[in-house]
Amino acid sequence: MSTTFENVKTPSYVIDEEKLIKNLEILNDVQVRSGARILLAQKAFSAYSTYPTIARYLSGTTSSGLFEAKLAFEEFHDETGEKKEVHVFEPAFCDDEFEEVCRISDHIVFNSLSQLEHHRRTWEKPALEGQLFVGLRVNPEYSTQEGHEIYDPCAPGSRLGIRLCDLPDVLPKGVSGFHFHTLCEQGFEPLKETFEEFEKKFVKYLGRENDSQIKWINLGGGHHITRDDYDRDGLARLVKYIREKYDVTVYLEPGEAIALDAGYLVTTVMDIVKTDRYPVLILDTSAACHMPDVLEMPYRPPLRDSGEAGEKKYTYRLSSRTCLAGDVIGDYSFDKEIKIGDRLVFEDMAIYSMVKNNTFNGMPLPDICILRRSGECDVVKEFGYDDFKCRL
């Protein structure tokens, strides 16, 4: 079904194809200049109707487990049918899922030596025959984030990644790569520092001289490569240095950067409630249900044609039709008075939104649309009562 942006049913997520392609062109340029292989981290964005477009530019996908890996295996192809890489990392793999994980993946990353050995009987044969690449996630123990502990895998007590002190001098047989993921929405400088720390600590496993078994290094995600101010020249230099010095394939697996600023959540004002502070707009969307990172991260989503509270003439608190008192998106101001029935457009809503939403309070899920370069808006998914009922 096709409509226009002005007429989409609300609430709807609208993916902006032109902006998505702009990001993909930037990422492909980094691949070409640096020799890195860039993967889509599906955890951030898995609206698979866009996969044929993304697969035209990127080298593959990464997954947090069987379901995401399966989605990539089924859907992530471009029109040439060229095989794209399926990577998977999970802190622990289920016994009854692992055979399938092995069958559909090219790279499997383990979070511990005990998981590596626990599943060895399943992965060892394809790995030794060169059909499958098996790696270890390491913890460089180098935090570059402050105040964001839930997104810092290097925070004290972290379960994510093996510390140098827990690795044997000789790596277990069959291991061919290292993986680390420590960043979140960061520029190039923290990656450079983290790599230098990783290199200092783990160099004994790398290098051409000692006939290293490490053939690939995955630098994880959290790189805001498509942001205007990202130092992409620096990134290309670092990747080239790693490839040339250690004779390895270098992977990057950003999620956010792929669909950064490439989607909207369109909503309608259902009511306006007077309070002892700002008047509250009751929207047909919800922070808790449709943009949970607003409460979890937390952050204030950009809203088209608006300012900070008090900046423009009319200030409102934007909230939701759920019964959760704290289901508040934020305080925003506008040049003109808002009326019931007005439509509002939240920006940068492609990432960590569709993949995280829920039907708490019996809230309907927003439809998913794609705004084509032609201006047409295709409705690719519609949700209703059954999507609520079937999960309970």
Interface ranges with ligand PLP (CB under 6 A): 41, 43-44, 62, 89, 181, 184, 220-222, 253-257
We find the least distance from the C-beta atom of residue 276 to ligand PLP, in angstroms, to be 39
Q: Are 83 and 59 in contact (CB under 8 A)?
A: no
We find the least distance from the C-beta atom of residue 64 to ligand PLP, in angstroms, to be 7
Q: CB nearer to ligand PLP: give 70 or 334.
A: 70
Q: CB nearer to ligand PLP: give 227 or 317.
A: 227
Q: CB nearer to ligand PLP: give 107 or 269.
A: 107
Q: How many CB atoms lie within 10 A of CB 267?
A: 25
We find the least distance from the C-beta atom of residue 187 to ligand PLP, in angstroms, to be 13
We find the least distance from the C-beta atom of residue 254 to ligand PLP, in angstroms, to be 4
* CA 330-331-334 angle, 5° bins: 130
We find the least distance from the C-beta atom of residue 288 to ligand PLP, in angstroms, to be 21
Q: CA distances (Å), 103 to each of 115, 123, 130, in order?
A: 18, 9, 13
Q: CB nearer to ligand PLP: give 202 or 278.
A: 202
Helix (H, G, I), strand (E, B) or coil at 109: strand
We find the least distance from the C-beta atom of residue 36 to ligand PLP, in angstroms, to be 14
Q: CB nearer to ligand PLP: give 256 or 327.
A: 256
314-320 vs 328-334, strand pairing mode: antiparallel
Q: Tell how far CA 345 is from the center of its chain.
A: 22
Q: CA distances (Å), 205 to each of 46, 112, 201, 210, 385, in order?
A: 34, 17, 9, 8, 54
Helix or strand (DSSP H, E) at 283: strand 280-283
Q: CB nearer to ligand PLP: give 227 or 312.
A: 227
